[in-house]
Chains A and B, each alone.
Chain A
Amino acid sequence: MVLGLVGNDIHVVANRVLEIGMAEHGFRPYNLGTNNTVDDFADAVLETGARAVLVASVNGEGQKSCAGFGARFAAAGLADVLRYVGGNLALGDRPAAEVTRLYTGFGFHRVFHRPASLHPVFEALRADLARSALEGIGPALVGRGGGGGAR
């Protein structure tokens, strides 16, 4: 899977911990690091054949970089790739449900706004990948709302 930070964001600490954690949990992470665009993620998925992308934004400005993420992936023929987003996804004290709705609207399957732990991310990923291996994912998952990590 492909992970990285989107937008003009250089908060690399959690990104690196996530990469280490994913490898530890048996996933094969390909880390794009900081300051990526939607196209960088799509290109990396095409190059690596990844089944999932984990997009992170920590500086609270992720909205403008993430808008239309799902549509962009669909246009690249990547509608079936699992799309997660997490981090500090909005500035101030916006309710988690509202933030989840917003990013689900951008085409993410699961949203982890200010997660207390990374455990729910790994659990959701394992479950979603197992399910997708059986029945394929994509549009069916969109609209299910937030993942377990959203507070």
Chain B
Amino acid sequence: MAAPGDHARVGDLAADRHRLIERYGAPDLTPSTAADHLAALPRARFASVAYRRPGPLVQPRGGFPSAAKQRALTLAFDAAGADFIPLTVDSHTRHNDHDTAARLLAASLAEGRDLLNGYPLVAHGVTTTRGLFEGIERPVSLRHGTPDARLLAELALASGITEIEGGGLSYSLPYSRAFPVERALVHWQYVDRLCAEVGPADAPVQRESFGPLTATLVPPVITVVVQLCELLLAAEQGVTAFTVSYGQTGSFEQDLAIATVLRAHAADLLARFGFAVDVRLAYHQWMGAFPAEPSLAWQLIAVSAAISGLVGADKVVVKTPDEAVGIPSIENNAASVRAVRYVLDMFPACRPLSNEVVECERDLLDREVTEVLTRILDHPAPSFLSAVHHAVLDGVIDVPFAPHEQNAAALIAVRGTGRRIRVLEPGSVPLSTESMRRERELRGPKSEDGPLWEGLLRDIRVLT
């Protein structure tokens, strides 16, 4: 059995870090920069400290190419009362194409228009990035999508960013076609170990997984299993502050069930393998196709904010009414933060709800998660990482609509009764006969006799 444990901790990070930082070759980044800077940083700048307040804390997203515009966005978020400040990185940097990012940054500045869909952190470097957050007493969260985020994480931490989103599965399968999953997993071991090493003892660096994945008919069991795998992989590397997350499913009952099951399994697994990790729960507002009409988009944002409170999330990652159109403006971003805060204030200190539908979803999900995790943990691989890698190759972890060539793409999910996401074809995901019987039962009668592909398109566009 590939039991997760401290024995899997990477031993030679110092040599790797030295090589990586030397190759980057900027005078303001050395292997000790991050630890020194974080030690001196006000504790209000740490995500793990912010999480000591009751949630849901509000986390917007946002990234612009120029430092000036990113600074303006940061100030707008601060004024709007966002609990977390984001730094969203552009897609060239995500693929470690830093030359293109630097060229398009220069062109953006010269032409006065944004030619990148985020902030090119590597091109800007440490000194400029630190300047973005001067005088800000809130934690900054790195939002990206990078299969190999070693250099990005080094720069982020050295710049005073105290929360790093991503993971070897959640930032490869949905974001890349060809980046080998095994390499992504190994590079994320580096990031996990780095986060564990450079944070102060009283304010550890927060790691966060990315639960929404492709945000397209992903069944809850896949979401939860990916979250738990990344939690355990981070724990192996000594991470003590970790956020599991998931995206709004489109079913309130499944949202509630996921929160309960994810928390329970996380606690069980950590206890079982002897890890001490402070686990937090983030809820992503609807990550699927958004309505184009702003008045409808606002309703979705408001309802989703309410659900984040009702599932007892520690953090809600907010959307904007521009979502269907393109990259949101600074004003729209700030307006979203105010709107979500307004809705959350209507649900002070609310307790998670339940009813028989939620319990039924919870019981099925709990069983399915156990079935898939057992298969992964029972794999005769030499390490937990290797078992997770094999789970992808074998289709045991199968993310619908992921572009990655190593993803099995055999699982098919649809929406059934109550718009809840149901596994129609499990592919190689090891769901028992009993679980699949329940999935069929809960799917209910087919509403129309149209072909499957038409139903899928309908289900994907369910909230547009």
Contacts and interface: CB of A to CB of B under 8 A. Distances in A.
Interface in A10-31: 10, 12-13, 16-18, 20-21, 24-25
Nearest to B400: A16
B275 interface: no
B216 A13 contact: yes
B403 A34 contact: yes
A33 B409 CA distance: 11
A118 interface: yes
A17 B453 contact: yes
A18 B453 CA distance: 7
Interface string B173-216: 00001100000000000000000000000000000000000101
B412 A34 contact: no
Given A10-B177, A34-B177, A35-B177, A16 B452 contact: no
A138 B208 CA distance: 53
A33 B453 contact: no
B453 A118 contact: yes
Contact of B453 (A10, A21, A35): A21
B187 to A, nearest CB: 20
A13 B174 CA distance: 11
Interface string B208-240: 000000101000000000000000000000000
Contacts of B178: 35
A12 B217 CA distance: 13
Contacts of A25: 451
A20 B177 contact: no
A17 B458 CA distance: 11
Interface of B: 177-178, 214, 216, 400-403, 405, 409, 412, 451-454, 456-457, 460
23 contacts: A10-B177, A12-B214, A12-B401, A12-B402, A13-B216, A13-B460, A16-B401, A16-B409, A17-B453, A17-B456, A17-B460, A20-B453, A20-B456, A21-B451, A21-B452, A21-B453, A21-B454, A24-B451, A24-B452, A24-B453, A33-B405, A118-B453, A118-B454
